[in-house]
């Protein structure tokens, strides 16, 4: 056993499932020494953690695409980590891997559940952001589920967020009229001035229906939804025939999981022969290389910009999580961990 | 002018838009003499009228796939009628036509908006029922939108209704496990004994979630939804990956159009990569012959049965309309009008 490692290991565990907002009873910080890796396992030290809205679903005791985290378990998180001790063939100390490495400084992972990263093609940070799941989610959600055609109007909610900002840029590349919805001056300026969207709506500034009508005078062909709630309902009233609504998230409905409000205007799907379709990245794992190549190419040419919001240290996890819901983050939320244990 | 015609003409007009259930202020019966047909018009005498849940949408002052009926106008209805006077090329007195002939004994139609029926292939009644829009809606909604595969589980709400009962039978022909949901003993017996479904749920008899779980132990692949509300929410919690929800109607939500409740469990579409898709027959008008041939063939072989609930006389319209919502009808609701003017 390795004393410095043990002394430094820290974890955020789920204490109890939140019913509404995450609160002081949700998380518990512990400092349990990691176990030795069993056969097929690796002991890894996290370098980067990804903080995503989907995490709210993992601490909801309800059927979903993955089993919920159990109270007492280390909180699930996608991360990039360095192998510190290997008991699995094909992995050696110093390898950099990605997978569900958890909200912890050090921990065990099954080697079969992670993959090695090749840092010649992208940085550790990029692999968790625009060139990782976030970028792939934008790519497949917009292009495969949303199927935008040049000249059509694409509306994106949480447009300044991690996934939304990439969706907006890909839609521009595809020749669409792109309308971004975000809250507050900083975000709307970013969408207008840095990303060059055709129209931007500050949903905090006034009624959404009339703003949408002005921003999308030809109606809405594709809506990439990260938020649900009032915005989804307003969009439904303005969709064009055969519109596609990509259901990527519903963050307005994550704060009170017992009172989720469904889209009251969903019967417009009949009137307009529209489609609402959900997806997750597990539908597209075999096509990750395609998305990686496309995103890396656009990024190299400056056609797709990534914006990350980086917090420092494992202690910042609760704050980072809260930012997802307050909207205080500017871009993809990441936590960077010291590469040498503090 | 023809005095006997004038004396006999009667119409149901929309008096005012109902906010909740249709009531005594909704309809107004009048007996205005029809005008002479202008160029391109026909004066027609209705023989059959179709009474459908979609009519509720036509008396709702909200954006939909057709403009709403205006107060004072004759209520819109699909019907089969006989030409009484023609001022349009290609139509002569005695021709039988179908189209929006309205809730009236006699009235004018634009010849371009109707089509002649060939009574060698089906009866007037069948053209308004299983071999007409009702059958086509079931055919395209299930096969094109729902895309059922042999061995998959198909759940149908309002399964004993006009569209639902045909959907159930086509799903059986396609080799699916078919679960029908209906209310009350008569309807569930019909589904079980006459249509031979694999499982039948009486939604009035107990909690829907556990009944669904028992009836669809392998989960739900296709849900053909005519009702919305609690049943849609219960289904969403039991859909399989890549499930298709065909949004055909939402009759549970038609009674208070200001308080439509959207599906609170719609975020299961993300978890299961599911699709909710609406449609109307206008998406499929070019393929009507395909549906007609298929349905006529199955019907001739006894593989698809049609059940009509026929009321007599124009006076029965308000009662027929109410039956759509009380569920008192058994099968497709039709009104037969006397062929000689009473």
Model confidence pLDDT, tens digit, residues A234-264: 999 999 999 999 999 988 887 776 778 899 9
Could you tell me if A275 and A144 lie in one domain? yes
Check residues A62 and B147 and name the one with the higher pLDDT.
B147
Dump pLDDT digits (tens) for A259-306.
788 999 999 999 999 999 999 999 999 999 999 999 999 999 999 999
Chain B positions in Cβ-Cβ contact with residue A264 (cut-off 8 Å): 260-262
Most B-contacting residue of A270, A274, A285 (CB-CB within 10 A), to test interface: A270
What phi and psi values does residue A102 have, to the nearest 5 degrees? 80, 160
B100 touching A (Cβ < 8 Å): no
Residue B54 within any structural domain of the chain: yes
8 Å CB contact of B271 and A57: yes
Q: What is the reported pLDDT for A17?
A: 95
**How many helices and strands, by DSSP H and E, does chain B display?**
11, 15
8 Å CB contact of B275 and A278: yes
Q: What is the reported pLDDT for B64?
A: 82
Could you tell me if B266 and B154 lie in one domain? yes
Residue B181 within any structural domain of the chain: yes
Instruction: Supply the mean pLDDT for chain A.
Output: 93
* Alpha-carbon distance values, A89 to A95, A110, A112, A142, A219 (Å): 12, 11, 10, 38, 55
B65 touching A (Cβ < 8 Å): yes
* Alpha-carbon distance values, A257 to A189, B68, B265 (Å): 32, 37, 10
Q: What is the reported pLDDT for A19?
A: 86
What phi and psi values does residue A10 have, to the nearest 5 degrees? -135, 145
The distance of B30 to chain A (nearest Cα, Å) reads 30
- The Cα B190–Cα B185 span in angstroms is 8
* Dihedral angle of Cα B182, B188, B191, B197, to the nearest 10 degrees: 90
Residue B38 within any structural domain of the chain: yes
Could you tell me if A142 and A96 lie in one domain? no
* Alpha-carbon distance values, B212 to B43, B178, B203 (Å): 50, 12, 10
Return the CATH number at B226.
3.40.50.720
For residue B21, count other CB atoms closer than 10 A to its CB.
13
Could you tell me if B144 and B261 lie in one domain? yes
Question: Tokens standing for A315?
Answer: 């202690």
Q: What is the reported pLDDT for B162?
A: 95
* Closest chain B residue to the Cα of A62, Cα to Cα: B237
Could you tell me if B244 and B114 lie in one domain? no
- The Cα A173–Cα A252 span in angstroms is 29
Domain count, chain B: 2
Indicate the pLDDT class of residue A7, thresholds 50, 70 and 90.
low
Residue A112 within any structural domain of the chain: yes
Pairing of strands B153-156, B177-182: parallel
Indicate the pLDDT class of residue A64, thresholds 50, 70 and 90.
confident
Q: What is the reported pLDDT for A167?
A: 98
For residue A8, count other CB atoms closer than 10 A to its CB.
17
Could you tell me if B197 and B228 lie in one domain? yes
* Dihedral angle of Cα B291, B294, B298, B300, to the nearest 10 degrees: 100
Could you tell me if B125 and B137 lie in one domain? no
Q: Are A291 and A297 in contact (CB under 8 A)?
A: no
Indicate the pLDDT class of residue A1, thresholds 50, 70 and 90.
very low
Indicate the pLDDT class of residue A340, thresholds 50, 70 and 90.
low
Which residue, among B35, B40, B30, has the nearest Cα to B10 in the 3D structure?
Answer: B30
Q: Are B208 and B201 in contact (CB under 8 A)?
A: yes
* A265, A273, A282 member nearest B280 (Cβ): A273
Residue A342 within any structural domain of the chain: no
Structural domain span for residue A116: 3-129+306-336
Q: Are B115 and B292 in contact (CB under 8 A)?
A: no
Find the range with the poorest average confidence among A4-18, A194-208, B32-46, B51-65.
A4-18
Could you tell me if B146 and B119 lie in one domain? no
Could you tell me if B104 and B191 lie in one domain? no
Residue B341 within any structural domain of the chain: no
Q: What is the reported pLDDT for A20?
A: 85
Q: What is the reported pLDDT for B3?
A: 44
Dump pLDDT digits (tens) for B101-139.
999 999 999 999 999 999 999 999 999 999 999 999 999
* Alpha-carbon distance values, A54 to A22, A137, A227, A324 (Å): 14, 12, 12, 10
Q: What is the reported pLDDT for B2?
A: 45
* Closest chain A residue to the Cα of B271, Cα to Cα: A65
Residue A250 within any structural domain of the chain: yes
* B233, B268, B277 member nearest A275 (Cβ): B277
Residue A324 within any structural domain of the chain: yes
Indicate the pLDDT class of residue A114, thresholds 50, 70 and 90.
very high
Return the CATH number at A101.
3.90.180.10
- CA triplet A288, A294, A299: central angle to 5 degrees? 120
pTM exceeding the 0.90 threshold for the entire prediction: yes
Q: What is the reported pLDDT for A30?
A: 96
Per DSSP, the residues of A290-334 read HHHHHHHHHHHTTSS---EEEEESGGGHHHHHHHHHHT---SEEE
The distance of B144 to chain A (nearest Cα, Å) reads 12
- Long-range CB pairs of A312-320, under 8 A, 24+ apart, other chains included: A312/A336, A313/A337, A313/A338, A313/A342, A314/A10, A314/A12, A314/A46, A314/A49, A314/A103, A314/A104, A314/A105, A315/A29, A317/A12, A317/A27, A317/A49, A317/A51, A317/A75, A317/A103, A318/A12, A318/A22, A318/A26, A318/A27, A320/A51
8 Å CB contact of B271 and A64: yes
* A57, A237, A266 member nearest B63 (Cβ): A237
Dump pLDDT digits (tens) for A150-190.
999 999 999 999 999 999 999 999 999 999 999 999 999 99
* Alpha-carbon distance values, B329 to A329, B18, B51, B123, B165 (Å): 56, 22, 11, 21, 13
Could you tell me if A86 and A107 lie in one domain? yes
8 Å CB contact of B270 and A249: yes
- Long-range CB pairs of A25-29, under 8 A, 24+ apart, other chains included: A26/A59, A26/A318, A27/A75, A27/A317, A27/A318, A29/A315
Could you tell me if A137 and A280 lie in one domain? yes
Could you tell me if A121 and A194 lie in one domain? no
Per-residue pLDDT of chain B (342 residues; tens, 9 = 90+): 444 455 579 999 999 999 888 998 999 999 999 889 999 999 999 999 999 998 998 999 988 888 999 999 999 999 999 999 999 999 999 999 999 999 999 999 999 999 999 999 999 999 999 999 999 999 999 999 999 999 999 999 999 999 999 999 999 999 999 999 999 999 999 999 999 999 999 999 999 999 999 999 999 999 999 999 999 999 999 999 999 999 999 888 877 767 788 999 999 999 999 999 999 999 999 999 999 999 999 999 999 999 999 999 999 999 999 999 888 999 999 999 987 644
Contacting residues for B143 by C-beta, under 8 A, at least 6 apart: B170, B174
């Amino acid at each position: 056993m390795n004393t410095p490692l043990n002394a430094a290991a820290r974890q955020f565990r789920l204490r109890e499932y939140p019913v509404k907002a995450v609160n002081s009873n949700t998380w518990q910080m512990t400092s349990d020494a990691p176990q030795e890796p069993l056969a097929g396992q690796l002991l890894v030290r996290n370098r980067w953690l990804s903080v995503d809205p989907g995490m709210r679903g993992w601490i909801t005791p309800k059927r979903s695409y993955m089993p919920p985290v159990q109270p007492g378990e280390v909180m699930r998180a996608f991360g990039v980590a360095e192998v510190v001790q290997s008991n699995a063939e094909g992995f050696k100390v110093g390898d950099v891997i990605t997978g569900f490495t958890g909200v912890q400084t050090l921990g065990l992972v099954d080697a079969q559940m992670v993959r090695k990263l090749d840092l010649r093609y992208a940085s550790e940070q990029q692999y968790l952001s625009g060139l990782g799941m976030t970028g792939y989610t934008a790519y497949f959600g917009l292009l495969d589920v949303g199927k935008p055609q040049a000249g059509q109007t694409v509306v994106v909610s949480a447009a300044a967020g991690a996934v939304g900002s990439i969706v907006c840029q890909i839609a521009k590349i595809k020749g669409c009229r792109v309308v971004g919805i975000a809250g507050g001056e900083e975000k709307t300026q970013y969408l207008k001035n840095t990303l060059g969207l055709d129209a931007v709506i500050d949903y905090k500034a006034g009624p959404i229906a009339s703003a949408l009508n002005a921003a999308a005078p030809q109606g809405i062909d594709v809506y990439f939804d990260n938020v649900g709630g009032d915005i989804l309902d307003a969009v439904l009233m303005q969709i064009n025939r055969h519109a596609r609504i990509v259901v990527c998230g519903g963050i307005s409905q994550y704060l009170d999981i017992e009172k989720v409000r469904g889209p009251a205007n969903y019967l417009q799907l009949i009137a307009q022969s529209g489609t609402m379709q959900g997806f997750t990245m597990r539908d597209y794992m075999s096509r990750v290389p395609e998305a990686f190549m496309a995103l890396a190419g656009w990024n190299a040419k400056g056609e797709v910009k990534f914006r990350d919001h980086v917090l420092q240290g494992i202690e910042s996890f609760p704050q980072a999580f809260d930012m997802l819901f307050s909207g205080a983050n500017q871009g993809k939320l990441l936590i960077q961990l010291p590469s040498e244990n503090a």
